[in-house]
Amino acid sequence: MILNVVKGTFFLFLTAIGIVGNIIVFVNFIYRFWRGTQKKSTHLILIHLAFANTIILLSKGLPMAIAAFGLRYLLDDIGCKVVVFLQRVAREFSICTTTLLTVVQAITISPRSSLCWRFKPKTPRKILPLFLFFWILTSLKPINLFQHIANVRANTSEAAKTDNYCYFQPESQKAKWLLLILMAMHSAMFQGVMGGAGGYMLFLLHKHHQRVLYLQISHLHKTLPEMRAAHSVLLLMLCFLFFYWTDCVLYLFLNSVLETNSAMLNIHGILTIGYASLSPFVLIQRDGGLTCCNFLSKRKTLKISVAVICQ
């Protein structure tokens, strides 16, 4: 009982702090996009990424916390299908958005004479059709899982060996592995593009660093905003790849063994929501503060100063 309370509290804390972080990033970049003089495509991408991560935490982290407290039977079969659908759509959209962010940032810092520069979106409106395509693609993909998702109440043996609120059980093991392989192929395609763009960014950042060292001019030692943003995106990409592939390896292991371990299931749950919880704080830390928060803070300081002067 005490273990369930500790586990549930930990999942609830991880989910809550992730939701707060993503809301901060969401509001911050909406403020930058609408109030900024220069509207950037990356701001629009980060708004969608924060929204997708929030959906992941609400559809995966929150039910996991509730299930950890021992309340696993709150959702019926329809509720399970809806929650798993939202989780899969948001997870796949997070993959697509992170890939798009990496590609756009790689194009942004590429030399103007390069071929990549020609594909740079001139305005954020140019990438809006991509978001529509991603939402449609990620919404259609999990539909084939509907018939295989059910509440653990319907399967007492499944309820005995897992702490989850829903379970995934196709008619045969062959069908199960086929569905898993098809889902992995889609994700691997996007991550291949992400890895290629990330490698290209590393190459450009290395060239920039060598040029700065060679010229030895004081004002060039200050990192350009585009380069700082590229460092942030690279860190975000590495964070995503770590959580995703560790989660995949552990998931395949759990589906291969006959008896599941409770500790392994808990680690898998943490890895599933790890990127959604950590990524906003990577952005906040690398961004050097929040524009909208700084603006509100300055306004408050100004009002206090005016009041003191008037007195």
Query: Residue 94 pLDDT > 70, yes or no?
Result: yes
C-alpha 23/C-alpha 286 separation (Å) is 17
For the segment 255-275, the average pLDDT, to the nearest whole number, is 77
- The pLDDT tens digits of the residues spanning 79-92 come to 778 888 888 889 88
Higher pLDDT, 41 or 217: 41
Share of the chain above pLDDT 70, in %: 69
- CATH number of domain containing 230: 1.20.1070.10
> Three-state SS across the chain?
CHHHHHHHHHHHHHHHHHHHHHHHHHHHHHHHHHHCCCCCHHHHHHHHHHHHHHHHHHHHHHHHHHHHCCCCCCCCHHHHHHHHHHHHHHHHHHHHHHHHHHHHHHHHCCCCCCCHHHHCCCCHHHHHHHHHHHHHHHHHHHHHHHHHEEEHHHCHHHHHHCCCCEEECCCCHHHHHHHHHHHHHHHHHHHHHHHHHHHHHHHHHHHHHHHHHHHCCHHHHCCCHHHHHHHHHHHHHHHHHHHHHHHHHHHHHHHHCCCCCHHHHHHHHHHHHHHHHHHHHHHHHHHCCCHHHHHHHHHHHHHHHHHHHHC
pLDDT at position 57, please? 94
Mean of all residue pLDDT scores within the chain: 76
CA dist 202 and 199 (Å) reads 5
How many structural domains comprise the chain? 1
- Report the pLDDT averaged over residues 214-238: 67
- Compute φ and ψ for 36, nearest 5 degrees: -75, 150
Question: Is the torsion defined by CA of 190, 195, 200, 202 positive or negative?
Answer: positive
Q: What is the residue range of 92's domain?
A: 2-310
Question: Which pLDDT tens digit goes with each residue over 106-136?
Answer: 888 887 777 777 777 777 788 888 899 998 8
pLDDT at 68: 81
Cα–Cα dist 227/238, whole Å: 17
- pTM above 0.75? yes
- What span, in angstroms and rounded, lies between the C-alpha atoms of 63 and 81? 13
Q: Give dist(CA 37, CA 31) in Å, integer.
A: 11
All residues at 6 or more sequence positions from 93 whose CB lies less than 8 Å from its CB, including other chains: 48, 52, 134, 135, 138
Q: Give the CA angle between residues 26, 278, 39 to the nearest 5°.
A: 30
Taking only the tens place, the pLDDT of each residue in 290-306 is 554 554 444 444 343 33
